[in-house]
C-alpha cells in the first residue's frame, strides 16, 4: 500500500514540475511574445493564407453592407457564401504547415463557412487588426501586418463588442437596430400597443 502511495506521489510530482512548471510555462512565454505555441490559429494567419484570408475580408465587407447585422450577414453567408475552400496540402507555401480546424458547414450548401458565433468572433478578433492576445488580453500591439483595414475592423468591432480593447465599457458601441417604418394611419387595422393600452385604461 505504501509503495503504491509513493509511486502515485512521484507521478503527481512529475506532472507538476516538468509539465506544468516547464512545458506549460514555456508555451505561455511563447504566446506572450506573439509566437505560435501550438494553439489554434486564426483563419488566414499566422502568415496571411490568401485562400482563407480573402474569405475573412469578405465577411467584414458583407457585415458593413448589412448595416452591422450579424443575423442578416450570416443568413447571406449560409446561402451564398463566400465559403472557405476545402483544404489541400498543395495550397500551402513551401515551409509552412496547417492543421484544419474548421468543421461548421452551411445547412443549405454543405460548404465550409462560419457559424453564427464564429462569425461574431471573426468580426471582433483583434488579431485581424494586427494585435496579439494572450489569455484574452492584448500583449503585443501592432505585432503583425493587419489582415483587415482598420476602419472596416473598427466598424464591426464597435457594432458587436460592449468592451473596448482594455476590457472597459466600449464608448463607441453602437449595436444594430432594425428600422421599422411607421405604418400610415389610413392603412392601420389595429391601434399600436401603446394606444391600445391607454384605451383599456379609459374603459376601466
pLDDT (tens digit per residue) in 20-76: 555 666 656 666 565 655 556 676 556 778 889 999 999 999 999 999 999 999 999
Q: CA 65, 66, 72, 77: dihedral to nearest 10 degrees?
A: 10
From residue 161, give the alpha-carbon distance in Å to each of 24, 80, 172, 186.
30, 26, 9, 41
Break the chain into its structural domains and give their ranges.
41-204
State how far the Cα of 125 lies from the Cα of 139, in Å rounded to an integer.
Answer: 14
pLDDT (tens digit per residue) in 130-150: 988 877 788 889 888 899 999
> CA 81, 46, 60, 121 torsion: positive or negative?
positive
Any bridge partners for residue 105, and if so which?
A: 112
Q: pTM (2 decimals)?
A: 0.71
- Cα 183 from chain centroid (whole Å): 37
Q: Nearest-5° angle of CA 49, CA 99, CA 32?
A: 75
Amino acid at each position: 500500500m505504501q509503495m503504491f502511495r509513493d509511486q502515485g506521489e512521484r507521478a503527481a510530482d512529475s506532472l507538476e514540475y516538468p509539465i506544468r512548471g516547464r512545458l506549460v510555462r514555456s508555451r505561455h512565454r511563447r504566446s506572450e511574445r506573439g509566437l505560435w505555441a501550438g494553439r489554434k490559429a486564426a483563419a488566414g494567419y499566422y502568415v496571411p493564407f490568401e485562400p482563407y484570408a480573402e474569405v475573412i475580408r469578405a465577411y467584414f465587407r458583407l457585415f458593413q453592407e448589412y448595416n452591422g447585422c450579424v443575423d442578416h450577414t450570416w443568413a447571406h453567408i449560409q446561402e451564398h457564401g463566400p465559403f472557405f475552400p476545402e483544404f489541400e496540402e498543395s495550397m500551402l507555401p513551401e515551409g509552412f504547415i496547417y492543421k484544419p480546424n474548421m468543421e461548421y458547414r452551411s445547412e443549405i450548401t454543405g460548404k465550409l463557412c462560419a457559424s453564427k458565433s464564429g462569425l461574431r468572433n471573426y468580426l471582433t478578433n483583434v488579431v485581424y487588426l494586427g494585435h496579439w492576445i494572450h489569455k484574452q488580453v492584448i500583449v503585443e500591439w501592432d505585432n503583425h501586418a493587419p489582415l483587415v483595414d482598420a476602419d472596416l475592423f473598427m466598424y464591426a468591432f464597435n457594432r458587436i463588442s460592449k468592451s473596448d480593447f482594455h476590457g472597459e465599457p466600449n464608448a463607441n458601441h453602437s449595436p444594430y437596430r432594425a428600422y421599422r417604418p411607421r405604418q400610415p394611419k389610413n392603412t392601420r387595422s389595429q391601434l399600436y400597443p401603446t394606444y391600445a393600452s391607454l384605451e383599456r385604461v379609459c374603459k376601466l
